[in-house]
Amino acid sequence: MTKLTEIRWHGRGGQGAKTAALLFGDALLGTGFYMQAFPEYGPERMGAPVKAYNRVSDAPINLHSGIDKPDVVVVLDASLMKRLTDVTEGLPDDGVLLVNSPDPPAKVRQETGLQKYRLYTVDASGISQEIMGSNHPNTPMLGALMRVADFVDYGEVKASIRKKLAKKFHGRDQIVEGNMAAVERAYQEVCGG
Amino acid sequence: MSEAKQGKQGMTGGSVRKRVGMRGSGRAPGLDMTGERGVPENNGRMEPRRGWRDMPVGGAISAAGSAIEYQTGDWRSIRPLHSKERCINCLMCWVYCPDAAIMLKDGKVEGIDYAHCKGCGICAKECPQKVHAIEMVPEGRIKAMEEDHHGS
Amino acid sequence: MAAKAPKAAVTKTPKSIKEINSAKTKAMATKPTAPKGKAAASKAIVTKSMATKAPTPAEMVARTGNEVMAEAMRQINPDVVAAYPITPATEIVQIFAGFVADGLVDTEFVTVESEHSAMSACIGASQAGSRVMTATSSQGLALMAEMVYIAAGLRLPIVMAEVNRALSAPLNIHCDHSDTMMVRDAGWIQIFSENAQEAYDNMIQAVRIAENSSVRLPVMVTTDGFIISHGMEGVSLIPDKAVQDFIGPFSPVYPLLDVDNPVTIGPIMFTDYYFESRRQVAEAMKNAHRVIAEVGAEFGRQFGRSYGYLDTYRMEDAEVAVVALGSTAGTARAAVDNMRSAGIKAGSVKVRVYRPFPAKEVFATLGNGRVKAVAVLDRSDALNNHAAPLCMDVTTALYQAGVGAGAGSRPNSSTNAPSGANAHVPPSIALPHILNYIYGLGGRDIKPADIEKVFADLHQVVQGQAASQPPTPPGMPQYENPMYLGVRE
């Protein structure tokens, strides 16, 4: 039976939501999954809300339609949680909602009134700031995503991400190591509730 | 919406802020920190989408100034804070603001329309260096400043 | 950087079509392109995409449609690229410009001030004697439209990546097929790609098709804007040398830079000659039909993925079918599977080559008497209050071949009762009922559920016919073509 997982990313222009989706797709391809990764285009500028998507499957993917009912939603910027209807649109009640936030899930639920979904939070921005000295939450979010997404083998995908980053940042090992450390930390620190 | 039909210059600060849901002003001396802005859920749209029979022909947008209904304030990651004390009302910020987000009253700068300000920083750049009446501050710091001020 | 000097010897007297077809230049002789005969060719006409050897993720790299088309261009290494940016095609030439700057290609990259200039420069360069490529979309294609027709009329084998985007007004940057349809009569070969893999494979084949001596027509390879152009998928790439070997060296016809054999290009032709010149173009399009299949079969033998005119899915016993161009064909396959699970004998047909239109193949697939109702999905509107582009071509193909094929063949509809000379002849082949749906204009999404609704309509039509013979029973839904799928009423 073909298993297809659909993921939607929410971010702001300039935060790397598109890059995260593309990197995730690329890494998954490297571990034997068929995949799609695509952004949604609208008025573009730094700060404007943007969305990106992934499809992951163990069989060739025929669908080229948009993703309406994601199984997983990843939110790269906690301020987007103000647009709760937008962020949770199409997510089933037991769907996974992963948010970049320094607050634990309980506090996020309290502040937003969110009751459904399997909510996870990780301070991806904080991790990125501490390890790499800049606010680039997308790679640590991949670490957290792999923890909460039960369909990927963490070790394999992590190795695949390392390979892609090594190619992208050829010769700049410090950047690769920093990103991988951030991935690992987010994997460890993500919590649900 | 009769308010929408008036030019931005003619509007009083009060009516604009009332319509876009702002409250309060001048939390800290010299700084305008009003920031209650509407964050419409429907991606900036104020009404449900129409069918083809209910639309103006040729794609015409028949309400003048309707861009004001698209609230882009939450795109901001840094915010201009305006000081009335330092301001000399040269109105250069108002001239250069690409979003018409500088609010005037009786020919003087009244404040910033945070529902539409995208935080580009042009106003702060155009304010004469010696005057320095506008400062760009990260949004995160605003929340902290507000919390400090209210002791919450 | 000077353009490469023409390699082939050119005779002094103008070449007739016959001479061009029989000419044995050095380049042509090294390639095994001898046609295998009609029987073999017709076997290759309807192929399942990637049926011979579908690549696994391990053999793939992650690329967007634009990236992979730029990669194909790098491997093809054209002599000249002249292009102007336009969303969503910009990245193709932007990435390629990076290859030029990095010295990975020998291409002379000409930056121009508009798309009209881009095609003009391409025409000049091609006629000068170089292999030329470009990319554009929508308004860019519209702006260069007069030059697009000229490129075909001058018989220049230019290859263009065309990213399908809606034409203004209103202004829209998202996918529909109106731009490609706008120039469907221009004399360009038009190949629609369903996904990134096909975009890559089609670009490589396009060079061989365009430059074939019996064709010499420009080719546009299309992808769906944003959906495929900006969508990242797994793609299996071919090694550089294998691509170079497949396309072979370029042989110009009447190159202007061959100063020892001067020619005049682009004359005015009056009422006494224009028609004959255009008849030559029609003949080239006719030859293209054969060449496209040959190149697609050869591509399959060498690289494991065969290509033809159509891709059929579960059509062996289908009673209802949808026909579509581009990425929608993939989504349609998902809908077909859902309908099959519900017990409906559904199938789908993807038209890969839109120009020249594979009329015989469409008839062979849909006019076999088994298929009772067909829905043609068009991502553009011909605004003729009648039928959208793909539907017009499909319907004409079915009717022309169907009426001629067997005595008394007539459309399987109560409103088209046989009359005149055929009135007394009983039907022997029943042509399917045709529904036309216009969808997805301006990037409006089309989902499996939308196509399942279409199948439900088809099923209802079929039930109505099975329930009673013509005339149309009262209460049977009257479908007024074209219908608009997914528009807000």
> B60: distance to nearest CA of chain A, Å?
19
Question: Where do the domains of chain B lie, and which CATH numbers do they carry?
Answer: 2-50+62-150 (3.30.70)
Q: Which of C167, C488, C489 to mutate to test the interface with B (most CBs of B within 10 A)?
A: C488
For residue C169, the chain B residues in CB contact (below 8 A) are 58-59
Confidence band of C88 (pLDDT split at 50, 70, 90): very high
Tokens representing residue C428 in the block: 């022997």
For residue B117, the chain A residues in CB contact (below 8 A) are none
> B54: distance to nearest CA of chain C, Å?
9
The Cα B13–Cα B102 span in angstroms is: 10
Can you say whether the dihedral through the CA atoms of C377, C378, C381, C386 is positive or negative?
negative
> C379: distance to nearest CA of chain B, Å?
18
| pLDDT score recorded for residue A43 | 61
In the beta sheet, which residues pair with residue A192? Answer: A120
First to last CA, chain A: 31
| pLDDT score recorded for residue C216 | 98
Tokens representing residue C422 in the block: 């055929």
Q: Is A29 on the interface with C (CB under 8 A)?
A: yes
Chain B residue whose CA is closest to C170 = B59
* Residue at C392: amino acid letter: M
Write the CA distances from C303 to A62, C290, C433, integer angstroms: 22, 20, 39
More confident residue, B49 or B23: B49
Confidence band of B9 (pLDDT split at 50, 70, 90): very low
Write the CA distances from C325 to B29, C135, C192, C389, integer angstroms: 64, 20, 6, 11
Nearest by Cα to A91 from A119, A67, A70: A70
Look at C447 and A41 and tell me if their CB atoms are within 8 Å. Answer: no
Three-state DSSP class for residue C170: coil
Q: What is the pLDDT of residues B38-53, one digit of tens each?
A: 333 344 455 688 899 9
Counting Cβ atoms within 10 Å, is residue C262 exposed (0-12), middle (13-18) or buried (19+)?
exposed
Cα–Cα–Cα angle for B74, C88, A49, rounded to 5 degrees: 10
Write the CA distances from C466 to C429, C469, C473, integer angstroms: 16, 7, 11
Three-state DSSP class for residue B25: coil
Q: Which of A40, A79, A89 to mutate to test the interface with B (most CBs of B within 10 A)?
A: A79
Write the CA distances from B8 to B48, B105, C216, C454, integer angstroms: 26, 10, 61, 50
Neighbours of B48 (CB within 10 A): 7
| pLDDT score recorded for residue C475 | 58
Look at C489 and B50 and tell me if their CB atoms are within 8 Å. Answer: no
Nearest by Cα to B37 from B53, B49, B19, B54: B19
Chain C residue whose CA is closest to A21 = C232
| Whether A112 contacts A86, CB under 8 Å | no
Domain extents in chain A? 4-192
| pLDDT score recorded for residue A71 | 96
Same fold? C48-303, C310-485: yes
For residue A33, the chain C residues in CB contact (below 8 A) are 57
For residue A35, the chain C residues in CB contact (below 8 A) are 57, 62, 232-234
ipTM: 0.92
Nearest by Cα to C175 from C442, C439, C354: C442
Whole-number mean pLDDT of chain A? 91
Cα–Cα–Cα angle for C338, C344, C349, rounded to 5 degrees: 75
DSSP designation for C473:
P
**Architecture (CATH level 2) of domain C48-303:** 3-Layer(aba) Sandwich (3.40)
User: Which of these ranges, A111-120, C14-23, C200-209, C325-334, has the smallest mean pLDDT?
Assistant: C14-23
Look at B77 and A46 and tell me if their CB atoms are within 8 Å. Answer: yes
Chain A residue whose CA is closest to B37 = A82
| pLDDT score recorded for residue C470 | 44
The Cα B15–Cα B19 span in angstroms is: 6
Domain extents in chain C? 48-303, 310-485
Nearest neighbour of B75 by CB, restricted to A47, A82, A84: A47
| pLDDT score recorded for residue C47 | 42
Write the CA distances from C406 to C359, C400, C429, integer angstroms: 17, 11, 7
For residue A63, the chain C residues in CB contact (below 8 A) are 330-331, 334, 448
| Whether C152 contacts C311, CB under 8 Å | no
Chain B residue whose CA is closest to A42 = B43
Ranges of H-type helices in A30-153: 84-88, 105-112, 124-132, 138-148
Q: Could you give the percent of chain A with pLDDT greater than 90?
A: 66
CATH number, domain A4-192: 3.40.920.10
Q: What are phi and psi of C411, to 5 degrees?
A: -55, 140
Three-state DSSP class for residue A166: helix
What fold characterizes domain C310-485?
A: Rossmann fold (3.40.50)
| pLDDT score recorded for residue B106 | 95
User: Which of these ranges, A80-94, C1-15, C195-209, has the smallest mean pLDDT?
Assistant: C1-15
